[in-house]
């Protein structure tokens, strides 16, 4: 009877040892195994850098692919075919006769903008800055729509209160008199005066 109890205890010990060994495999090769045993062990497989890694605070950690997308690498690869178009130099140093800046036509456009925007307005010291910025942007946009090719524009607008005083707006420029020119227009109503000037320089 005692012999049966001893065999049962040994069997239980061997069964427990086999269960632990099967549940927890060693990462090192056994005696007699070659180097391939260490490399083919699934527990020794190197984790790819594109696989998610567990975070310490149990949050989802950003992968390498997500970081490259944030920095713009994926955007650049997606739009790599949209390259800037390179045009051959024309070696033109002066505009065509039908593309020359015409001060008389530009003066009419500038005067129309002043009349439309300042009609009924009165001088306000707190609003003159924004009003002058709005007028310069609108005048420049209207002049660009006239289609003068290869011209750079500088637009200035001077606003002030008309109290019967004398005002002179003077400008001096250094440019090519054959290709560059300017146009200006005036407005004076309801105690508000405005002087708008457009300077056009040909870009060779």
Averaged pLDDT for residues 73-100:
71
pLDDT digits (tens, 9 = 90+) for 18-43: 555 555 554 445 555 555 444 445 55
* Residue closest to 20 by CA, chosen among 12, 32, 8, 28: 12
Nearest to 106 by CA among 152, 140, 157: 140
* pLDDT over 70 (residue 154): yes
pLDDT band at 73 (very low <50, low <70, confident <90, very high): very low
Q: What domains can you pick out in the chain, each with its CATH number?
A: 2-78 (no CATH), 97-202 (3.30.1140.40)
pLDDT score at 18? 56
Distance, in Å, from the CA atom of 61 to the CA atom of 39, rounded to the nearest integer, reads 28
Contact 175, 151 (CB under 8 A): no
- Digit-coded pLDDT (tens) for 112-129: 999 999 998 999 989 999
């Amino acid at each position: 009877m005692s012999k049966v109890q001893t065999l049962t205890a040994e069997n239980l010990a061997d069964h427990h040892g086999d269960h632990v060994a099967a549940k927890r495999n060693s990462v090192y090769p056994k005696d007699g195994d070659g180097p391939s045993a260490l490399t083919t062990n699934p527990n020794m497989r190197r984790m790819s850098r594109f696989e998610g890694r567990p975070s310490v605070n149990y949050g989802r950690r950003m992968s390498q692919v997500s970081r490259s997308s944030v920095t713009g690498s994926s955007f650049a690869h997606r739009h790599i075919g949209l390259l800037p178009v390179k045009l051959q130099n024309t070696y033109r140093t002066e505009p065509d006769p039908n593309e020359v800046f015409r001060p008389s036509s530009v003066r009419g456009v500038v005067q129309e903008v002043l009349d439309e925007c300042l009609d009924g307005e009165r001088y306000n010291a707190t609003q003159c800055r924004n009003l002058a910025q709005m007028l310069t942007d609108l005048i420049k946009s209207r002049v660009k729509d006239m289609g003068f090719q290869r011209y750079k524009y500088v637009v200035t607008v001077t606003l002030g209160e008309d109290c019967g005083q004398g005002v002179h707006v003077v400008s001096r420029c250094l440019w090519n008199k054959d290709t560059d020119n300017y146009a200006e227009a005036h407005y004076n109503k309801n105690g508000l005066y405005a002087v708008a000037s457009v300077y056009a320089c040909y870009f060779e």
